[in-house]
C-alpha cells in the first residue's frame, strides 16, 4: 500500500548552504555543546534573527510572492529553451 501524501508545508525542508569552514566548525561545536544538531541550531538562530529584525507579516508575504514569481519565471524560461520532444510513432 502506498504511503499517504502529507502536506509538504508542515515538514522541514533540506537546503544546501555554503559556509566558511571555520564558521561551520564553530557552529557545530556550539550545537554539540547545547545538545542540538546543526540544523536545530540554524533553525533557532534564524527564528531569533527574524524576530529581532521584525519584518511585518505583509513584508514577508510580499517577499515570498516576489520570490515565487521570480522562480516561476525561471522555470518557464527553462521550459521554453527545452527542445520539443519528437512524437513517438507506433508500428
Could you tell me the residue ranges of all domains in the chain?
16-79
Closest CA to 45 of 61, 30, 62, 63: 30
pLDDT digits 0-9 by tens, 35-47: 999 999 999 999 9
**Chain-wide mean pLDDT for the chain?**
84
3-class state of residue 81 by DSSP: helix
Whether 31 contacts 41, CB under 8 Å = yes
The pLDDT value given to residue 2: 58
The pLDDT value given to residue 81: 86
Q: In whole angstroms, how far apart are CA 74 and each of 42, 68, 71, 81?
A: 28, 10, 5, 11
pLDDT digits 0-9 by tens, 54-75: 788 888 889 899 999 998 888 8
Amino acid at each position: 500500500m502506498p504511503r499517504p501524501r502529507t502536506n509538504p508545508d508542515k515538514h522541514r525542508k533540506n537546503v544546501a548552504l555554503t559556509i566558511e569552514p571555520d564558521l561551520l566548525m564553530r557552529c557545530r561545536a556550539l550545537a554539540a555543546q547545547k545538545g542540538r544538531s546543526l540544523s536545530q541550531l540554524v533553525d533557532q538562530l534564524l527564528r531569533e534573527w527574524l524576530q529581532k529584525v521584525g519584518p511585518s507579516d505583509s513584508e514577508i508575504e510580499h517577499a515570498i510572492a516576489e520570490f515565487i514569481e521570480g522562480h516561476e519565471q525561471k522555470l518557464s524560461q527553462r521550459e521554453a529553451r527545452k527542445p520539443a520532444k519528437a512524437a513517438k510513432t507506433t508500428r
